A = this chain, B = another copy of it.
Amino acid sequence: MNRKLLLISNSTNKGEDYLAWCKYLIEEFLTKNKIKEVLFIPYAGVSMGYDNYEKKVKDVFSTMGVRLYSIHKENDAKKAVNEAKCIAVGGGNTFHLVYELYKNGIMNLISQRCNQGLPYMGWSAGSNVAGLSLKTTNDMPIIEPESFDTMGLVPFQINPHYTDFFDPKHGGETRDDRLNEFIIVNPSIYVAAIREATALKLEDGNLSLVGRDNKMKVFHANMETKEYGLTDDINFLMK
Contact = CB atoms under 8 A, between A and B. Distances in A.
Interface in A112-158: 133-144, 147-148
Interface in A151-184: 161, 163, 165, 167-173, 177-182, 184
A196 B167 CA distance: 13
Interface stretch (A8-16, A51-59, A210-218): A8-16
Contacts of A143: 135, 185-186
A96 interface: yes
Chain A, interface size category, equals: 35 or more
Among A96, A138, A143, A171, which residue has the most Cβ atoms of chain B within 10 A? A171
A198 interface: no
A13 B14 CA distance: 30
A13 B168 CA distance: 11
Nearest to A175: B140
Contact of A135 (B14, B133, B140): B140
Contact of A10 (B13, B141, B147, B172): B172
B141 A137 contact: yes
Contacts of A184: 46-47
Nearest to A160: B172
B181 A140 contact: yes
B185 A14 contact: no
A179 B138 contact: no
B196 A142 contact: no
Contacts of A141: 134-135, 137, 141, 148
A70 interface: no
A136 to B, nearest CB: 7
Interface of A: 10-14, 46-47, 93, 96, 133-144, 147-148, 161, 163, 165, 167-173, 177-182, 184-186, 196
Given A140-B182, A161-B171, A167-B167, 8 more contacts: A10-B172, A46-B184, A47-B184, A93-B181, A133-B144, A135-B143, A140-B181, A144-B148
Closest 4 CB pairs of A and B: A140-B178, A144-B148, A46-B181, A142-B182
